[in-house]
Structure 1
Amino acid sequence: MGKNKIDLTEYIKRGEELSFSKRVRLVLMLSIPSIMAQISSIIMQYIDAAMVGRLGADGSAAIGLVSTTCWMFGSLAYALTTGYSVQVAHAIGAGKKEKAKCIVGQALFAVLMWAVFLMFAGTFLSGSLPRLLGADPRIHQNASDYFFIYAAFLPVAALNSLASGILQCSGNMKTPGILNSLKCFLDILFNAFFIFPSHVLYMGKVKIVLPGLHMGVAGAALGTAAAELFVAVVLFYCVWIKKFSLHKMHIRKDCFQKGYLRKAIKISLPVGFEHFVVCAAQITSTKIVAPLGIVAIAANSFGITAEALCYMPGYGIADAATTLVGQGIGAKKENVAKYFAKISTMIGMVLMSAMAVIMFFAAPYIMAMLSADAKVVALGTKILRIEMFAEPMYAASIVASGALRGAGDTFVPSLMNFGSIWLVRMPLSYLLSLSMGLRGMWFAMCIELIFRGSIFLYRLFKVRWWEKAKNRIQ
């Protein structure tokens, strides 16, 4: 290894000792591109919210109403990608490149078929969704249009997620990080074209006519979908043609072993269940918020979007933890896996704590960027500041979950998420919202996240989760 570069796969294979600073650098080296990708995803939400927010509170509320359902369908689509990505990390960690290639080949077909099923289910649901969520009738059409377009592009989003996950678990965080960051720039361009009408821009004496389709809320969904499609095509080339060269490989029958699919489902089902539980709780929360009025719906939506800038770095570090633990388990270096699981979690907690401090003071300015409505900004600032006190423990749950996922340990963490959300958050949300409105619901969320982080830290440090990992990679 060079002086300034740490080769992940070689380090894990040799079990070479590194200083604490180099181990931290290795975690950050893998995390930063993924953090940038996660932040770019949130910036895209900021872009959509800010651009549509200029059209008025109704447009923002329409997107906010269906955003949690979008996350549910997206999470279900992404869940299966996790099952295959973790297997790729194990195979590469064990030095079995042909096996990794076979897993990637099967993943392409399985994930695409699952995403197409979700696409049909989502488009079918889109017409009745706003009514089921109990929203004001005046935002029904915009909300339905937004969700319909989102669901129609689920196969594209799923392939994007699969390609990014495979590259990350093979140790390449840079490529998906750069490409997913590029999505932000493309999203601005496409959104400007789809959302707003054609207009004239003067630069000195130069007159520039900017074309636009004036599609409003539906345009925001199409702009994001177009950016997603462009990046998915490039990632497809990077993974299936360049990295794993599937175009040169005759698809053999042994590459479609039931064992790969069985392991993918075994890992993905708990992950999918976990995401379903979280999103179902968010949808239930939306039903609690909906009767509070348009301002509360918009403030809640913008608050969730703004908070994401704080916690998405945690998901970036969780991706790195999945890679480090997965390759460590695959190479039968359990001590390496344990160490990186713990150090990644600590780094995540420190980083998200720092982000929370910044977000607390920047809250009014961030909310003002997302909405021009003074009432929405004021309420959004209050709820966002409540949540900042939970960020360190929220980081613990996010990164620890990613580390455990790398070992294939997904069943118990999914139950932990289920119990924490439905036995702690939801009852508190309902009770506190009765007397405190939207602020009460966010107080309940803060309490639950602190509890959830505590139980994840207990599992990470006190339970011998790595022992069963050996059987999962056989």
Structure 2
Amino acid sequence: MKKDYLRALRDGEPLSFNQRVQLILKLSGPAILAQISSIVMQYIDASMVGRLGANDSASIGLVSSSTWVIGGIMISLVEGFSVQMAHSIGAKDNKRARNLMKTGVIIDMLIALLLMALVMSISFYLPGWLGGAEEIRHNATLYLLVYGAFIPVFMINYITCAMIQASGNMKIPSICDTLMFILDMIFNFIFIFPTATYNILGLKLKIYGAGLGVAGAALGTGVSYVVVTAFLIYYMFAKSDILHLRKDEKLKIQLADIKKAFKISLPLACERGITSGASVAVTRIIAPLGSISVAANSFAVTAEALCYMPGYGVQSAATTIIGQSIGAGRKDQTKKLGYIAIGTGVIIMTLTGILMYFLAPIMIGILTPDPAIKALGVTVLRIEALAEPFFAASIVASGVFRGAGDTLAPSLMCLFSLWCVRVPLSIMLVKPLGLKGVWIAMATELTVRGIIFLVRLIRGKWENKLY
């Protein structure tokens, strides 16, 4: 029987270097698979819509950065409670962890309803505000409108995944994400394309479809979330060893817990808002270049995600491990685990960056048959590949800081790198170099961000947040 190193961490047992590495890899593996499954869903959306034409692809690309803003805000709000849960579980106070879980569900779902109303109400105006061409605005509005309707579902999915992960269980969210990408492929095919007859292995089969195009892509993703999230809710409330509801435990909403949650969440929300807001600004810079550039940018962003999503998997594991280590009072292990997590992320993303450089034509070719879009997408992907090791350092370091409750300083660092490096450089380089200039600016900014995050890690400022 394999030793449970996370439990050993909570119990105060010593951990060797090899055991710390195994702990990081054990929790990172399922989280990486979950992140890859998530981006595969985006690949499915993009590749299916890419078959409809450049304008349809550009309509999704125009609003995708805006949906990232909303998604980032929701994930940040969830982490305010899940980080506290990890601390409580590390301290073996599972009753408090369950109370935090219930409080978080109520507070975050109320906010999700407000976000739904906001997004649906601005969906008719946002494509115009972003400077999208007249011919892509209608479909962009439809995509955003359907996305907005599913925001409460997305929120409860983020809640259940984050809280189950905070308990140390990475497998269930990973399995569910894999199932979700399979369902997404099926539902997207049904909703995007019209009824048609296909030749499959020599047999002519008539497959019925709704023919909703761009709106169908958003609907297919939303329905897949509904199916999987229903199971996650059942698992968290009824089957999780640590989190399942107890009849003798009544909800006690503690104002101090809510305040602490927002103290953690607000800087994270600002960081993600800053990141996504900069993406929106860059999208606005790119929009006048035309549908080819907008579509190539969108496809390249989707393709690059396969390279950096493993870093976010390691980040999720790092947040859980650092959080539980802090809750258990394991000062002897916390720093060491943080360094190993960052080293793991950098190694993985360096390898994926090399693969992305050489496989760029295949990655973009899967998404679009258009030769002009493909050529431009390959060029910008190869520019970005050079910055992946530094991007990895910033991603995983952010997870380490987050597990320690240190969220304000990293958010300010992110604000500096995005708005003082990426956006100004994009404005300077877009005219002489077009989309390539924007991606040179992006690669430069990610390198700067990685360096300043590593400096903070080495200087040890984040340790002041631990105890």
Settle same-fold status: TM greater than 0.5: yes
Aligned to 1:261: 258
Instruction: Give the superposition deviation at 1:23.
Output: 1.8
- The one of 418, 423, 426 equivalent to 1:421 is 418
- The one of 304, 315, 328 equivalent to 1:318 is 315
Aligned to 1:437: 434
Aligned to 2:11: 13
CA distance in 2, matches of 1:316, 1:460: 19
What amino acid sits opposite 2:31 in the alignment? S
TM-score, normalisation: structure 2: 0.97
Aligned to 1:338: 335
State, as a whole percentage, how many aligned pairs show the same letter. Answer: 44
Matched, 1:294 2:277: no
Instruction: Give the superposition deviation at 1:430.
Output: 0.4
Structure 1 residue runs without a partner (length 5+) = none
Matched, 1:186 2:194: no
TM-score, normalisation: structure 1: 0.96
Structure 2 residue runs without a partner (length 5+) = none
CA distance in 2, matches of 1:80, 1:240: 20
What amino acid sits opposite 1:368 in the alignment? G
Give the total of aligned pairs.
466
Please show how residues 363-378 of structure 1 align to structure 2 within 5 Å.
363-378=360-375
The answer on whether the counterparts of 1:115 and 1:158 sit within 8 Å (CA) in structure 2 is yes
What amino acid sits opposite 2:9 in the alignment? Y
CA distance in 2, matches of 1:421, 1:204: 50
CA distance in 2, matches of 1:202, 1:441: 42
State the Cα RMSD in Å: 1.3
Name the SS for the 2:306 alignment partner: helix
CA distance in 2, matches of 1:361, 1:5: 39
Q: Residue by residue, what CA displacement relative to the aligned partner does 1:339-373 show, whole Å, maximum 9, x if unpaired?
A: 11111001100100000000000001111110111
Instruction: Give the superposition deviation at 1:334.
Output: 1.7
What amino acid sits opposite 1:80 in the alignment? L
CA distance in 2, matches of 1:80, 1:250: 28
Aligned to 1:45: 42
400-409 or 195-204, larger mean C-alpha shift: 195-204
Aligned to 2:401: 404
What amino acid sits opposite 1:140 in the alignment? R
Q: Residue by residue, what CA displacement relative to the aligned partner does 1:141-161 show, whole Å, maximum 9, x if unpaired?
A: 100000111111111111111
The answer on whether the counterparts of 1:342 and 1:461 sit within 8 Å (CA) in structure 2 is no
CA distance in 2, matches of 1:86, 1:249: 25
CA distance in 2, matches of 1:246, 1:166: 11
What amino acid sits opposite 2:405 in the alignment? G
CA distance in 2, matches of 1:294, 1:201: 30
Name the SS for the 1:172 alignment partner: coil
CA distance in 2, matches of 1:5, 1:366: 39
Name the SS for the 1:95 alignment partner: coil
The answer on whether the counterparts of 1:46 and 1:370 sit within 8 Å (CA) in structure 2 is yes
Matched, 1:249 2:253: no
Instruction: Give the superposition deviation at 1:242.
Output: 2.0
Please show how residues 457-472 of structure 1 align to structure 2 within 5 Å.
457-470=454-467
Name the SS for the 2:209 alignment partner: strand
What amino acid sits opposite 1:93 in the alignment? G
What amino acid sits opposite 1:118 in the alignment? L
Matched, 1:144 2:158: no
- The one of 262, 273, 278 equivalent to 2:275 is 278
Instruction: Give the superposition deviation at 1:463.
Output: 2.1
Matched, 1:238 2:235: yes
Name the SS for the 2:405 alignment partner: coil
Instruction: Give the superposition deviation at 1:78.
Output: 1.4
CA distance in 2, matches of 1:332, 1:51: 49
CA distance in 1, matches of 2:218, 2:248: 38
150-159 or 186-195, larger mean C-alpha shift: 150-159
Name the SS for the 1:134 alignment partner: coil
CA distance in 1, matches of 2:154, 2:462: 32
CA distance in 2, matches of 1:396, 1:347: 9
- The one of 92, 99, 102 equivalent to 1:102 is 99
